[in-house]
């Protein structure tokens, strides 16, 4: 992935940082289909596990999608689940994560990102991700067209544990 694309994706994660000066982005490790990244600056630290889809539908529409689990200790935020599907979401439609029989709804979407706002639901999703092998995220773009991103969960637990450890 190009530096510009990484910067755009990570920019979302920096919104809550008060000072973006002298930031350091450090890739902690690659764990099969997941990786752990730590971002620090003078006043805050952000740790997250992220993955990109192994399969996207429709196939003819390549998008920069990502699934994140973030930790921001300065703000006392843990286990924050967020996604981007590489397009602006249609707020009239539900964004849904599905793994096996488990279905989890994202509460808020703004522009290209969506979040789960209830920490109990986030912990449930993380538990599902630790036990599963794949999770599918269904979203809808501004025109109402459906997309489905399939994420492998191979390496998720190690990436999650690494992100949590680096921000504890």
Task: Give one DSSP letter per residue of 83-114, joined into a string.
Answer: EE-SS-B-TTS-EEEEETTEEEEE-EEETTEE
- pTM (predicted TM-score): 0.86
% of residues, the chain, pLDDT over 90? 80
The pLDDT value given to residue 138: 97
CA dist., res. 115 & res. 45, Å (int): 20
pLDDT of residue 80: 97
Would you say residue 115 has pLDDT above 50?
yes
pLDDT tens figures, 40-94: 998 999 999 999 999 999 998 889 999 999 999 999 999 999 999 999 999 899 9
d(CA 158, CA 30): 9
Domains and CATH numbers, the chain: 3-166 (2.60.40.1880)
Residue 136: closest CA among 30, 65, 31, 47? 65
């Amino acid at each position: 992935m190009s530096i510009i694309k990484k910067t755009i994706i990570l920019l979302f994660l920096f919104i809550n940082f008060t000072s973006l000066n002298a930031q350091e982005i450090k890739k902690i490790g690659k764990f099969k289909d997941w990786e752990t990244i730590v971002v620090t600056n003078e006043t805050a630290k952000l740790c997250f596990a992220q993955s990109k889809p192994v399969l996207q539908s429709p196939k003819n529409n390549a998008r920069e999608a990502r699934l994140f689990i973030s930790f921001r200790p300065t703000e006392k935020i843990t286990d924050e689940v967020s996604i981007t599907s590489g397009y602006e979401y249609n707020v009239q439609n539900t964004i849904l994560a599905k793994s096996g029989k488990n279905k989890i709804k994202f509460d808020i979407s703004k522009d290209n990102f969506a979040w789960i706002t209830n920490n109990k639901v986030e912990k449930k999703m993380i538990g599902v991700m630790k036990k599963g092998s794949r999770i599918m995220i269904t979203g809808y773009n501004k025109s109402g067209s459906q997309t489905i991103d399939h994420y492998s969960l191979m390496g998720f637990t190690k990436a999650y544990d690494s992100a949590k450890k680096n921000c504890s």
